Chain A
Amino acid sequence: MNILKFIQSFANESLMQSKGSRRESFGQFGQLGKNLALASIPFGLSSLTNSAYAADITPTPSTPIGALQLALTLEYLEKEYYIMGLESGVIPAGGRDEKVFMQISDHETDHVTFLINGLGGVGSPNFVAKPTFDFTVGGAFDPFNHYPTFLALAQAFEDTGVRAYKGQAGNLISTPDLLTAALQIHSVEARHASEVRRLRGLKGWITLNERGAGMPAATQAVYDGEQLTIQAGYNTAELFGAAAGSEAYDEPLTTQETVNIANLFIV
């Protein structure tokens, strides 16, 4: 929903251009109408209604089902991204990178299955269908032909996953089994994030709100807010400085922040 805001914040000129047609087709009126019309429609329905305009997802409700729906959309995104990456040949074959992404792809595929089952299966009214993804973001990125870009987006997706699941924990507190499962996925995303970051030559953990060398400016939303050094009143920068203090904690993303990031890649 906030795609216009996001695009406007990009320095990347080609990204601006590439999204021009979509932007024109909505116009301010269309966007306003869409926001109003969808404001109170549950997530599952909105994907249908939305398709008349565009397929942006809307914030999921602050309920256990809403949490799983948002998680499922993120897992759809990751699953498709890694399958496309492995099929494209962009990942160097036969070495560490291929082993890493095959393992990650396996996990994301499992997570999609797990979450669909958790929502009651594909026939359930709580089920949400896979959106259509554009990992090039209208041609701005070329992840399936340019390996550094593939790695950069993989890092952004994994770090987003970690923060997004964390943001949904509170919505699952009334359903302990679902909470536990979500935590078990959350830590897997963190293992993935650490390894992808290390493949890129970064630390496995996030320092301050730094997206890290080589990350496109468009991914900054994934790292905004990570610089926090006060935790429950305790100054985590006190002993070893702000960098270490911020690294020691990952911060949650709100539902809206997560949706905004996902919508960059949904068409």
Chain B
Amino acid sequence: MKNVVKIKEVEPSFTDRRKFLKISGLTIVGTGLLLTGCNKDDDLFISPNDVNLTAKYGGGHFPGLKDGIFDLGGNDLGVLTYAYALEQLEADFYTKVVNATGFTTNFTAEDQQVLTDLYYHEVIHREFFKAALSGALPNPKKQLLPNLAFDYGSLDFSSRNQVLATAKALEDTGVAAYNGAGRLLSNPDYLVLAGKIVSVEARHASAIRSLINPNSDDFAGDDVVDPTTGLDVKKNPSEVLAIADGFITTPFTALYLP
């Protein structure tokens, strides 16, 4: 059932109809309420100061099993659980990268230094979320997102081009995810914590892009930073999960996130 997305398809977008329908399908099973999520921005960006935003997107919905499938939940804890899922993916990817045969031969010394740092940082982020959520969730035994399983399909971890292209997609997606999720947080402490992490993700994205194409402006390329506004990418959870879903084999839902 699981679609394995190849690297070439990682960069992508919500226009991938197949993936979108799949996510929507999960949503429909749950409530049907989020069908309007088809319009990627309309739902989330209704108006500033929408005091009902929290209530609409998951007040009281904790992470945990719903009909046998883990749901990320809503509200601040749902957003943190969503971030935890993404950090699990990033950490797993870089763990495989630095342990792959060929890491010390197919990658330059600079590549290795950058990728090793990214491995450290993302594992630290993952373990941080695990600890923070374990402390914040009322019943972490049932509500803490389990360790997810991943499948990278035909990705060749000893291929510099493939690894860097995937890293770029993951880091850019991470930046877009945190940028889109900030407004979903109501606790200012959580917002600052997310802010502390997103800028490091952006530093990563820039470095990876610079490794791929050093003699260029790709570090903050027009494909991610809108050249007319100077604003970076932002994505809603449903958009991000449609991308990450290509790698994550453990089924889960995000019924209470936009």
By a beta-carbon cutoff of 8 Å, the part of chain A in contact with chain B is 95-96, 99-100, 102-104, 106-111, 114, 162, 165-166, 169-170, 173-181, 183-195, 198, 203-205, 231-234, 236, 238-240, 244-245, 247-252
Contacts and interface: CB of A to CB of B under 8 A. Distances in A.
Contacts of A181: 231
Interface stretch (B64-72, B127-135, B143-151): B127-135
Contacts of A247: 117, 120-121, 200
Nearest to A171: B188
B interface, over-half SS? helix
24 contacts: A100-B217, A110-B229, A114-B229, A114-B231, A178-B48, A180-B179, A185-B230, A185-B231, A186-B202, A187-B178, A187-B198, A188-B225, A192-B220, A194-B219, A203-B113, A205-B203, A232-B131, A238-B127, A239-B124, A247-B117, A249-B197, A250-B199, A250-B200, A252-B192
Nearest to B230: A110
Interface residues of B, number: 61
B48 A251 contact: no
A248 B127 contact: no
Contacts of A184: 179, 231-234
Nearest to B50: A176
Interface centre among B185, B198, B204 (most CB of A within 10 A): B198
Interface stretch (B21-29, B99-107, B208-216): B208-216
Interface of B: 45, 47-50, 53, 113-114, 117, 120-121, 123-125, 127-128, 131-132, 135, 175, 178-180, 182-183, 185-186, 188-189, 191-193, 195-207, 210, 214-217, 219-220, 225, 227-234
B215 to A, nearest CB: 5
A188 B193 contact: no
A183 B127 CA distance: 24
B203 to A, nearest CB: 4
Given A103-B217, A169-B182, A205-B117, 6 more contacts: A102-B217, A187-B232, A192-B219, A203-B117, A233-B132, A244-B120
A176 B48 contact: yes
A24 to B, nearest CB: 40
Give the 4 A-B residue pairs with the shortest CB-CB distance, closest first.
A110-B230, A190-B202, A103-B217, A194-B206
B216 A99 contact: yes
A204 to B, nearest CB: 4
Given A176-B49, A248-B200, A249-B196, A185 B232 contact: yes
Contacts of A192: 206, 219-220
Contacts of A173: 185-186, 188, 191
Given A183-B182, A232-B189, A190 B199 contact: yes
Contacts of B125: 248
Contacts of A187: 175, 178-179, 198-199, 201-202, 232
Contacts, number: 207
B182 A248 contact: no
Contacts of B204: 194, 204-205
A234 B227 contact: no
Contacts of B225: 107, 188, 191
Given A104-B220, A180-B182, A194-B219, A169 B206 contact: no
Interface centre among A102, A232, A247, A251 (most CB of B within 10 A): A232
A111 B202 CA distance: 17
A72 B76 CA distance: 30
Contacts of B205: 191
Contacts of A236: 124, 128
Nearest to B182: A183
Interface centre among A108, A165, A176 (most CB of B within 10 A): A176
Contacts of B47: 177
